[in-house]
Amino acid sequence: MFQPIIGVTPLYDAECSSYWMLPGYFKGLQAAGCAPIMLPLTTNAQILQQLAQTCNGFLFTGGQDVDPTLYGAERKPYCGPACPERDAAEQLLLKLALQQNKPVLGICRGIQFLNAALGGTLYQDLNTEYGSAVEHHMSPPYNRAVHTVTLLPNTPLRQLLGVEVLGVNSYHHQAVKKLAPGLQAAALSQDGLTEAVFMPQQKFVWAVQWHPEFFYETDSASLKIFKALANAARP
């Protein structure tokens, strides 16, 4: 079976000036039948165009906070460290992926970045700006559910998983606030936060706030999400 090449955005260690990768992203994609590669953080248009043409799909990973300037907000003291290199590179990469109708999956920061890049806004810190009794920043181990989400009817995620309520892991302090034009919510947490989105007008643009890369070995729903990306990326 054809194994689609999935370009994966790297995590960035500013202190060491180095790219790095959580193995769960690659292993989850491989378990789903993909051939993952790590992408550079570059704004070189020629390089990005060639990568967009070469890759069959893209995974936008977790990592630093999205800079509030991306969604027209003032940085608050409780906003965490940002990564300008990621924000700049991923904006250009996302634009190319959408133009070429390439499948895109966002995880954690990925849903936040996708929403901000397309015109939505974010809570810069949930404890400060939202407040909730729901556990959104769990302690290890991460391969377990700490809260539930409701999968909304008539959404591709609900159709894929075939359940209304799903247990998920959770490790984030930012979240979708105002949903971007062109995105639709696919899942809501118990406290009303948007925890999954999709773009109906695109072949496959999904994003989730939880972490299937930590859970795919024991949670069938997590593996199904990776497999959905794989299937969308096959010719």
Residue 55: CB atoms within 10 Å: 25
Q: Say which of 83, 108, 172, 195 is annotated catalytic.
A: 108
- DSSP letter string, the chain: ----EEEEPPEEETTTTEEE--HHHHHHHHHTT-EEEEPP----HHHHHHHHHH-SEEEE---SBPPGGGGT-PPPTT---B-HHHHHHHHHHHHHHHHTT--EEEETHHHHHHHHHTT--EES-HHHHT--SS--BPPSP-SS--EEEEEPTTSHHHHHH--SEEEE--B-S-EE-SPPTT-EEEEEETTS-EEEEE-TTSSSEEEESS-GGGTTTT-HHHHHHHHHHHHHH--
Clarify whether 15 is annotated catalytic.
no
Clarify whether 79 is annotated catalytic.
no
In DSSP terms, 37 is beta-bridged to: 7
Q: Say which of 85, 90, 195, 213 is annotated catalytic.
A: 213
For residues 159, 63, 220 and 135, what is the CA-based torsion angle, rounded to 10 degrees?
-90
**Do 60 and 105 touch, CB atoms closer than 8 A?**
yes
Clarify whether 85 is annotated catalytic.
no
Enzyme catalytic residues: 108, 211, 213
